[in-house]
Amino acid sequence: MAKKQDPIDIVADFEKAAKSAGKHQRYVLRLYVAGINPRSSAAIRSITEICEEHLKGRYDLEIVDIYQQPTLAAGEQIIAAPTLIKKLPEPLRRFIGNLADKDRILVGLDLRSKT
């Protein structure tokens, strides 16, 4: 006869499994920038560093210049640049403006807890 597991242990086991599965999820990110300028370059550099450090081999990063592809930006309702959109894994998240605060981005991407 199997030992009955405490409900608290069941929840803890579930959370542990969910967290472990999250470490292997593929991230789909889209970064909207406004032309080639220092702010755009800094945003690209910052997001690329985060992805390479925390998501190496399991991310797709698309960079969209809103001047070159205005219809794509309009379809996503981009009102400011730079804007980073995390499409997958869900939930969808948007980061607008300065992307240099790596802790804020990591928390928003669910790669670090809010501690």
Look at strands 83-88 and 27-33 and give their pairing.
antiparallel
- In what side-by-side order are the strands of the sheet with 93-96? 59-65, 27-33, 83-88, 93-96
Question: What global pTM score does this model have?
Answer: 0.77
Domains of the chain: 26-108 (3.40.30.10)
Radius of gyration of the chain (CA): 18
Could you tell me the CA-to-CA distances from 57 to 3, 61, 89 in Å, in that order? 40, 11, 15
pLDDT of 22 above 60? no
Per-residue pLDDT at 12: 55
Per-residue pLDDT at 92: 95
Per-residue pLDDT at 3: 58
pLDDT in tens, 29-58: 999 999 999 999 999 999 999 999 999 999
Per-residue pLDDT at 5: 61
